[in-house]
Structure 1
Amino acid sequence: MLGEIHLFGAREREGVGWPDKRAGQQRWLSSMVSGLESVSWELESRRITSTRAGFASAIYGFRVPSVLVGAEAPQAADSWTGQRDALQFGSNCRQIRGGSEDCLFVNVFTPKLPNEDDNALLPVLFVIHGGAFIGRSGDLTPGHMMDKGLVIVSINYRLNVYGFLSLEGTNAPGNAGLKDQTFALKWVQANIAKFGGDPDNVTIVGESAGGAAVHYQVLSPLSAGLFHRAISESGSALNPWAYTPGTQDYAIRLGNRLRYHTEGNQGLLDFLRNATVEAIDKAVPIILTHPEKVRYLSNPFVPSLEYPNPDKEPFLPYPPRYMESQGLFNRVPYITGSNSDEGKGFVGSDASMEESTYWETIVNDLERVVPLDLGLTKGSAESVEVANKVKEFYFGDQELSYDTKQHWIDLQTDLLITLGVQTTVRSHSSYSNSTYNYQFIYNGATHGAEYSYVFYAGSMEDRSTDAVKMATLFADMWSDFAKTGDPSLEEETEWLPVSESSFPYLQINTTLTPLYNLENDRMNFWFDIYNNYYNTTSQG
């Protein structure tokens, strides 16, 4: 059911001392700010131990103050009074494996709380989770990053059809999930100082779909001034799985699957809001066609161009590729990068690739490698030509087979992640002098491999192990960037930003190596394809 959701006040602390150093629970009598209203309440938190046996306050499960109806944007709600505990994470947002529509929670991890003796504020790291816009949550273990003098905030946001349904002429214009993130950033601006965080020094970070979401916040005019730096790990709004021109057609297909056939978008929206979540969850995965699925649009309800609403400014007023090309983005210091073997996690197992049928299916439908956002009609001369060019570039005169599987993995790496990231880098280079690019290569880094080092929860005692080296490098670079806007480490190699004429990047391994022109030949191949074949009407 796309029903009504009431989410009540994430509350800020005020005028309390540092909690007792004993592990366990600590109750505070505090005041809260919910929108523009303040009322008294009580909060319970618990202590957590960092990787160096220090302590931090873990404040879980704040409900962001809002009222949500269907796929509407979040709205301020009435405050509540009384005691709420913050001892555990709140409900995950609705997804295939469960969750709830009552899910917009904020979690705060702070190494210190303001008091009369120390009211200095710390930089804020605001974490947006990944999960292809259909799964996962903000349930975060911050690990070693808690030792870096940051206040860390993690959030939930609506997913799938509940967060990205759009229907023209209704109060569901699209991108509600992204607006949830913006709403949480507004909450941080209003409240984080009472947790020891500096609202004037907020860095947003995300991996995979979280990285794409960070990029969307960088693009959106609604997010201007709400953050000051950004980090996208293996995710860009220009990735093929991260954007579709509109989700209305998919909403209509969903209605048809659920046997709704009456005309009118508002009627369809009302019908979906009254359908059961079980019925919706069962129908959504089967509404994409086979050609859509194999051409890198893995989920139907993802960020999209919004339908105009005369009363509200859209989160995404233009297609992201256009906004990037025109410099229509928030000019903040920005780190964006990817991993060397992203595609390995998407091609299936070695056992499946050893089967001849695996490769026969690809050879018999070679146009699956033609990106949907090129806007070429399948079967057209241009589409066939691009498919043949791709095969020739990546495989030469070799056959597609298990013996050439690394070429296939490289192709998936580029199509799914690297090309979108590098297109973003090139676009930013024309308008920004503080965009930093990286490639993570340690141990043949696959998709998401860096995330476990950014928030490393293992022991830090043995500094000689590769895992601790990687965790130290990421924590140092990311935290320095959050504090200063410059990720270079004084004792390591200088990390230069890109410019219009120069494209440096940092290769991250157990040591750091400055290089230029990431995957130069592969990226130039795709830049030429888009220059020669891109249909400008394909993105809405």
Structure 2
Amino acid sequence: MNYTGNEDCLFINVHTPKMPCVRKNNVLPVMVWIHGGGFTFGSGNDDEFGPDYLIEYDVIIVTFNYRLGVLGFLSLGNSDVPGNAALKDQNLALKWVHDNIKNFGGNKYQITIFGESAGSASVHYQTLSPLSLGLFQNVIMQSGCSISNWAFQENPIQAAFNLGKVLGFMDINVGNLVSFLREQSSEILILNQRKKFDPEIGEETSFLPCKEIPGTGKNFLIEDPETVLKSQQFADVSYIIGITDKEGILMLPEIVGEPEKLIKVTGDENLKKNIPRSLCNGCDKMDSIVADVKKFYFNDSKITWENISLYVDLATDVLFTAGVKRTIDYLSVKTSVSVYVYLFTFEGKLGDTKSHISKLIDNLPKGAAHADDLGYLFHRIIIDDLTISKKSHEVKTIKRICTLWTNFAKLSDPNEENFGVIWKKYNSKSPQYLDIGYTLKTVDSDLLPNRTEFWNNAYSLYVKSNE
């Protein structure tokens, strides 16, 4: 892992199509982007998230940076280091936008927050925290939510002590650990944050959002996200939420060219780690669940590069689909919110995740990989050398998704009369989603219905039997 950036990173970028003095009293809707990167890397800077496409639709685009990794998510469960500093950075940025965007010609009562991957999970966390109540009116969640396994840390104090052990701290006193870590440079902390303190038995440490202990300062989150969702104590706003159809392609570079890794990631032990926590956290049914998963996704066959699409579908679902669909179900129960669901299936030149992986792996499964939608919302330096015709499907897709997203920011309704489709609000009794592909089309079913039905049945069977 390389060390780049600076802990002093709390900067906000405001992009406006025209200066306020030109627009006079005509205030514009505001879209605030929270970048992804596994809560560990990335930035909101314009080399990755240039506002060029969206700003043409008469909206103000705001991006910002927040502390990442151990600097943003270290928690020791006390008032000294309560946790979730990064989510509080985001909250502070949203407060700043709410209080100051009028100076840039923006409407503080017309703010949409949106993000992708860990940025989408961050957006979701903002809807769960009372600290962010009233700071936005619309939410767009792309390929991520708070109840995904990769988005929540159950034992942050253990993670902190694991890092201490990596750096040579062998005490068990929390106060001493805080003092020890403060003596380390931010570079040392970042470079060592993912290392195993015991390579033989130790798990790789992750610093992620966590539940805070009440009374340890101004708490952002004092319950785990699923508990908040069950209680319906989340923001009464309008939501767009969805995924790409082949998110799991993202995982393939980790195993390309190494048959033993392919065997490992499809083995029982790895599958157990990736089963959604809310399905079987510490229950005695894990072996049965894994057997069901292998039967459903692999039909008990051995996974090879010839049938790697089976593994891609599983990775898509355990990392993204299952959590997102469960979130949709929680949102749709609350009558005071509107929910629009989509599936991004367009496979084009601006999908830089798949373009990059295709250089490593031949014959990738058809479909859009994780983050392939970003190139159609933002101008990205990484794809500047591509020549795209103005009549191409790529340009058509940019116009479609930017129109839908900015319509939603303006009206809390994404529909566009000229597109010839009606994107209905999600209803669990008659579910529908929008397929964003070479054309726009509505599909009268749940997302990836056979696979989401498998997970719904698993929750019905195993969660209830474990209660």
- The answer on 1:335 being equivalent to 2:258 is no
Structure 1 CA distance for aligned equivalents of residues 465 and 176 of structure 2: 33
Q: 1:521 to 1:265 in 2, by over 3 A?
A: same
**What is residue 89 of structure 1 aligned with on the other side?**
none
- Aligned pair partner of 1:482 in 381, 386, 409: 409
**Count of aligned pairs:** 437
**What is residue 280 of structure 1 aligned with on the other side?**
189
**What is residue 211 of structure 2 aligned with on the other side?**
305
Structure 2 CA distance for aligned equivalents of residues 263 and 349 of structure 1: 35
Aligned-residue sequence identity (percent) comes to: 35
**What is residue 36 of structure 2 aligned with on the other side?**
130
Tell me the alpha carbon deviations over residues 455-488 of structure 1, each in whole angstroms, 9 at most, x when there is no partner.
Answer: 1467999442011011001110001000000011
- Aligned pair partner of 1:108 in 14, 18, 30: 14
Tell me the alpha carbon deviations over residues 264-317 of structure 1, each in whole angstroms, 9 at most, x when there is no partner.
Answer: 2222112111112233223211138889999xxx761011111222653x2112
Q: Which amino acid aligns with 1:466?
A: H
- The answer on 1:172 being equivalent to 2:86 is no
Q: Which amino acid aligns with 1:317?
A: I
- Aligned pair partner of 1:259 in 145, 163, 168: 168
Instruction: Tell me which protein shows more strand as a share of its residues.
Output: 1
**What is residue 30 of structure 1 aligned with on the other side?**
none
**What is residue 442 of structure 2 aligned with on the other side?**
514
Matches within 5 A, 1:363-374: 364-369=267-272, 370-371=274-275, 373-374=277-278
SS in structure 2 at match of 1:230: strand
Q: Which amino acid aligns with 1:505?
A: Y
Structure 2 CA distance for aligned equivalents of residues 350 and 259 of structure 1: 32
Higher radius of gyration, 1 or 2: 1
Structure 2 CA distance for aligned equivalents of residues 351 and 222 of structure 1: 43
Deviates more, 1:254-263 or 1:510-519: 254-263
- The answer on 1:318 being equivalent to 2:255 is no
Structure 1 CA distance for aligned equivalents of residues 281 and 228 of structure 2: 24
Q: 1:337 to 1:292 in 2, by over 3 A?
A: farther
Structure 2 CA distance for aligned equivalents of residues 390 and 148 of structure 1: 44
- Aligned pair partner of 1:121 in 20, 27, 42: 27
Post-superposition shift, 1:537? 11
Post-superposition shift, 1:334? 0.6
Post-superposition shift, 1:329? 0.3
Post-superposition shift, 1:497? 1.1
Q: 1:192 to 1:292 in 2, by over 3 A?
A: farther
Q: 1:536 to 1:456 in 2, by over 3 A?
A: farther
TM-score of the two chains, using structure 1 as the length reference: 0.76
Q: Give the RMSD, CA atoms, in angstroms.
A: 2.7
SS in structure 1 at match of 2:181: helix
Q: Which amino acid aligns with 1:413?
A: T
Matches within 5 A, 1:184-203: 184-203=93-112
Q: 1:536 to 1:427 in 2, by over 3 A?
A: farther
Paired residues of 1:113 and 1:195 also in contact (CA < 8 A):
yes
Structure 1 CA distance for aligned equivalents of residues 375 and 22 of structure 2: 36
**What is residue 361 of structure 2 aligned with on the other side?**
none
Q: Which amino acid aligns with 2:186?
A: V
Structure 1 CA distance for aligned equivalents of residues 162 and 460 of structure 2: 33
Q: 1:104 to 1:367 in 2, by over 3 A?
A: closer
Paired residues of 1:212 and 1:242 also in contact (CA < 8 A):
yes
Q: Which amino acid aligns with 1:340?
A: D
Q: 1:421 to 1:222 in 2, by over 3 A?
A: same
Post-superposition shift, 1:531? 3.1
Tell me the alpha carbon deviations over residues 341-386 of structure 1, each in whole angstroms, 9 at most, x when there is no partner.
Answer: 100111227842xx542343345545534526147578x8521111
Paired residues of 1:157 and 1:181 also in contact (CA < 8 A):
yes
Matches within 5 A, 1:19-30: none
- The answer on 1:524 being equivalent to 2:428 is no
Structure 1 CA distance for aligned equivalents of residues 458 and 23 of structure 2: 61
Q: Which amino acid aligns with 2:70?
A: V
Structure 2 CA distance for aligned equivalents of residues 465 and 281 of structure 1: 42
**What is residue 339 of structure 2 aligned with on the other side?**
435
Post-superposition shift, 1:117? 6.8
**What is residue 400 of structure 1 aligned with on the other side?**
303
Deviates more, 1:483-492 or 1:302-311: 302-311
Q: 1:517 to 1:228 in 2, by over 3 A?
A: same
Q: Which amino acid aligns with 2:56?
A: D
Structure 2 CA distance for aligned equivalents of residues 196 and 185 of structure 1: 16
Gaps in structure 1 of 5+ consecutive residues: 1-94
Post-superposition shift, 1:401? 2.0
Work out which structure has the larger RCO, using CA pairs closer than 8 Å and 6 or more positions apart in sequence.
2
Structure 2 CA distance for aligned equivalents of residues 331 and 235 of structure 1: 19
Structure 1 CA distance for aligned equivalents of residues 346 and 96 of structure 2: 37
SS in structure 2 at match of 1:421: helix
Gaps in structure 2 of 5+ consecutive residues: 348-366
TM-score of the two chains, using structure 2 as the length reference: 0.87
Q: Which amino acid aligns with 1:110?
A: T
Post-superposition shift, 1:520? 1.2
